[in-house]
Structure 1
Amino acid sequence: MSNITLQIITSDNWREALELSVHEVQQKFVASVNPPVAIALAKAYIRPGGKKVEPYGVYYQKKMVGFFNLHYTPNSTDDYWIFHFFIDKKFQRNGLGLKAFQELMRQIKQNNPACNRIRLTVHPENEAGRKFYLKVGFTEDNILTFDEPTYSILL
């Protein structure tokens, strides 16, 4: 069993989430503002496109080490998107991103049984991110979303 858990961001842990960051050269790959969690939390309130937006903290041994937003249309089969996924710079390169995605896919299958596809976009200059998502099992869709290549994985 992995020591990775995913917890929704609430009034109890949002400040902890704001402490997360990436290396300066990675900032543009995650969000246009710093800290990257700030824009992601705003989207949970604003709900772009009318989608449900759930911000999650990635926890390793009870410490928040990463973050992502799940955007989706409830009961949809393929309108599930991951945005702003990152592991804090202090915890990168330890396999936590892969474990987080494995747990994410497990939870989506459990909590959203209609879902059969998850999508995300990758900044065109983010070669490490592209390789990571391919390793996780995503494939490139050969379309652009928000001017970025779109990737998907079938569950």
Structure 2
Amino acid sequence: MSQVTLKKITSENWREAIGLSVNVEQQKFVAAVTPPVAIALAKAYIRPDGKTVDPYGVYQQNIMVGFFNLHYTPDSKEDYWLFHFFIDKRFQRRGLGSAAIDVLIKHIKDTHLFCHRIRLTVHPENDAGKKFYTRLGFTDENILTYGEPTYSIYI
């Protein structure tokens, strides 16, 4: 697996994040708008449902290769959600997604001490995404959130 790091999106790296994209056929799996980071950054500002929303860049050797939002209620045990996770189309199929999830889980364990579950949704037609998350230890909760299957992992 490739070494990756996470960095919060700030005024210094947001333009780099906006430049990330996925293949056309993957777009609906990440966000309803292009570029997908645009809606994710808007959510960080708007804070849907009153949650804290932290946008992160996924980096490999100082190059941003991916993105996600972490939505959560501070100090909760189970209200941590991963949204808009993707690896840029130029860097896919290199193990960076798996490495990023591993680093994210470690980051949450280190910085959100009360958290013991991370949740996410997968577009119903995203079979590759379902296999990816299942392979990493996420399980299908057999419930829909925002019309999509919900997966979770206990950490």
TM bin, normalised by shorter chain, reads over 0.9
- 1:7: which partner in 2? 7
Cα RMSD (Å) of the superposition?
0.9
Distance 1:73 1:66 in 2: 24
- Checking the alignment, whether the CA contact within 8 Å between 2:2 and 2:94 is kept in structure 1 is no
Aligned residue for 2:101, secondary structure, equals helix
Distance 2:77 2:149 in 1: 21
Question: Residues 114-133 of structure 1 correspond to what in structure 2 (within 5 A)?
Answer: 114-133=114-133
**Unaligned runs of at least 5 residues, structure 1:** none
User: What amino acid is the match of 2:27?
Assistant: Q
**Unaligned runs of at least 5 residues, structure 2:** none
1:56 aligns with 2:56: yes
- 1:146: which partner in 2? 146
- For residues 48-99 of structure 1, give each alpha carbon's deviation from its aligned partner in whole angstroms, at most 9, with x where no partner exists: 0000000000001110000000000000000000000000000000000000
Distance 1:98 1:144 in 2: 24
User: What amino acid is the match of 1:142?
Assistant: N
How many pairs align?
Answer: 155
Overall identity of the aligned pairs, in %: 68
What's the TM-score, normalizing by structure 1?
A: 0.99
- Checking the alignment, whether the CA contact within 8 Å between 2:66 and 2:87 is kept in structure 1 is yes
1:77 aligns with 2:77: yes
What's the TM-score, normalizing by structure 2?
A: 0.99
- For residues 8-38 of structure 1, give each alpha carbon's deviation from its aligned partner in whole angstroms, at most 9, with x where no partner exists: 0000000000000000000000000000000
Distance 1:82 1:8 in 2: 14
- 1:112: which partner in 2? 112
CA shift, 1:3, in A, is 2.3
Distance 2:2 2:148 in 1: 32
Distance 2:21 2:36 in 1: 7
Moved over 6 A (4+): none
